[in-house]
Structure 1
């Protein structure tokens, strides 16, 4: 029985997550259900796309990923199921999948058309669960939808480069649980444009001239502990997802603050890299 993952903006206060899991168990009593996140900011499809992109690849091939963010069926927001990288995804066609599909071409995409076979208006509880159960039983995508060739793209997700290729203009893509600020500038993009040149990362009141490979890479462990610059140290690094991240070493958003609060950064704020 394939694993079914759930990613939503439902939070954990209401009944919604439990109801979806119950609906899955009614269809598949031996299902394995894994929560990726239910704390996506409401209707924040870019945040959801980032989390899905970096979460799905750790699951076995054949896993079915249900994504419930901005998923209400409307004339402009239909539902899709697709097979991509040997995983299955069920979500709204609102751009969430475009970050992944930009790098890996889907093997098959269908627009789901089983809405007349369900009774409620709770998309995940009916349409998405029915589609996931069908796939889990070995069913094909053709049975639950009609072929389409393209999915909606997120506009403006990629960073820009100025005409003389001396500056990358990016923005804040995501702020994580620790308040670390993830930019939309990938290592590959940075290296392709920078070509080994020295640089300055600038955003609001902070600047960085070095990008570390990890958080602890920024700490000089050869120095006596009482003389190290540790907690509160400002860091730029390539995170595990391959994006440039701005962080504060061992930050705590609820006490000492975080990169987001201390640097004054939020989603879509500009981050510039200038090459010498």
Structure 2
């Protein structure tokens, strides 16, 4: 039985997540359900895409991913089921899949058309669960929808390389639990454009000229602990997902603050890298 994952902006206070799980278990008592996250910022498609893109690859091929973000059905927000990288994704056609599919071309896309048979104002509970359980039982996508070739694209979040490869201009796409700032500039782009040149990263008033491999590489452990710069140390790193991240060493947004609050940077704010 394939694993079914859930990613939503429902939070955990209300009944929504439990209702979705209950509906799946009613259909598939032996199902394995994994929560990726239910703390996505409301209707935040880019945030959801970043989290799912970096989580789904750790699951077995054939896993089914229900995505409850901006999922209300309307003429401009149809529902789709997508086979991508040997995984299945069920969500609204709101641009989210275009972000997840940046590395892989979808193998099959269908526009879900079973709504008349179900009738609902809670599509994640009724429609998405029905489709997920159908796939889990070995059903094909063609049974639940009509094949389409295009999905909605989200534009304006790709880094820009200025003329002469002198500068990359990107933006903040995600702020993690530690207040660290993840940009849309990945290691490959940085290396392809930079070609080993010296650089300066600028994000509002924060400036960096070194990118570390690990957070602790920013700390000089040869200096006595009471004398070295440690707590509050700002740093840039390529994170485990390969994206440039601006961080504060051992930050805690609830006490000393994180990079977002300390640098005054938030979603979509600009980060530039200038090469010599």
TM class, shorter-chain normalised?
over 0.9
Give the CA deviation at 1:224: 2.3
**Structure 2 match to 1:159:** 159
Structure 2 CA distance for aligned equivalents of residues 217 and 149 of structure 1: 46
Structure 2 CA distance for aligned equivalents of residues 132 and 148 of structure 1: 19
**Structure 2 match to 1:102:** 102
Asked whether 1:274 is paired with 2:263, we answer no
Structure 2 CA distance for aligned equivalents of residues 42 and 118 of structure 1: 26
Give the CA deviation at 1:99: 1.8
Give the CA deviation at 1:216: 1.1
Question: TM-score, normalising length from structure 1?
Answer: 0.98
**Structure 1 match to 2:258:** 258
**Structure 2 match to 1:26:** 26
**RMSD across aligned positions (CA):** 0.9
**Structure 1 match to 2:123:** 123
Q: Where do 5+ consecutive residues of structure 2 fail to align?
A: none
Give the CA deviation at 1:116: 1.1
Give the CA deviation at 1:119: 2.9
Structure 1 CA distance for aligned equivalents of residues 258 and 96 of structure 2: 27
**Number of aligned residue pairs:** 276
Give the CA deviation at 1:13: 0.9
Give the CA deviation at 1:102: 2.2
**Structure 2 match to 1:236:** 236
Question: TM-score, normalising length from structure 2?
Answer: 0.98
Give the CA deviation at 1:106: 1.2
Structure 2 CA distance for aligned equivalents of residues 180 and 139 of structure 1: 41
Give the CA deviation at 1:227: 2.4
Give the CA deviation at 1:40: 0.5
Structure 2 CA distance for aligned equivalents of residues 247 and 199 of structure 1: 18
Query: Per-residue CA shift, 1:42-80, capped at 9, x if unaligned?
Result: 000000010110010011111100000001111011011
**Structure 1 match to 2:204:** 204
